[in-house]
Structure 1
Amino acid sequence: TFKQLYNQLNIHNIQLFCSDYWKSYLEVIPKSKHMTSKAQTFTIEGYNSLIRHFTARFRRKSKCYSKSEKMIENTLNLLFAKWNGTLNYVF
């Protein structure tokens, strides 16, 4: 599964991949483009956890799931605006 994802990403000429020490990453990503460390991944995992906590559409695919990329983008924009204190709403 990761090999398929890597092949899809590879067309974008990504210069550096940061990951943990999972064996599949080590087998697929070339060493010259791969940095293995938890130091670069814990912040991203924290944000992913908060996104899943506050938005139902990222928890399960069986319910509350939108296939529309625009709706996912809008959801994230609203969530980030709320976090940043830039969301203005009127009741």
Structure 2
Amino acid sequence: MTDYWKVYKEMIEADKLEQTKRETYTVESYNGLLRHHIARLRRKTRCYSKSEEMLRITIALFIAKRNGNLSIFGY
């Protein structure tokens, strides 16, 4: 499932291509939320992740905070 970017028609076989905004807007919404709150995910910044593990930990903490589950981390 993709959005309507032209290159997808050239790269993906027609019988396998489904272009819709039905799912992509939700994903983009979450991406924007993460970029807004987590500096290491923003573009053109000095705060970036050198470690994949730290990126995973940061996102796990953010999700736990949003869900009110920080107690699992001892906070």
Shorter-chain TM band: 0.7 to 0.9
Match of 1:84 among 52, 61, 67: 67
Structure 1 gap segments, 5+ residues each: 1-17
Does 2:58 align with 1:59? no
In structure 2, relative to structure 1, the CA distance for the partners of 1:35 and 1:81 (3 Å cut) is: same
Q: Which runs of 5+ in 2 are unaligned?
A: none
1:77 aligns to what SS in structure 2? helix
Aligned to 1:69: 52
Cα distance in 2 between the residues matched to 1:71 and 1:79: 12
CA-based RMSD of the aligned residues comes to 1.3
Q: Tell me the distance in 2 between the aligned counterparts of 1:19 and 1:58.
A: 22
- Supply the AA of the counterpart residue of 1:29: I
TM-score (norm 1): 0.72
* Percentage of matched positions with identical amino acids: 51
Q: How many residues align?
A: 72
Which runs of at least 4 in structure 1 moved beyond 6 Å after TM superposition?
none
> Residues 36 and 56 from structure 1, CA distance in 2 versus in 1: closer, same or farther, beyond 3 angstroms?
same
Alignment CA distance shift 1:87-1:39 (3 Å):
same
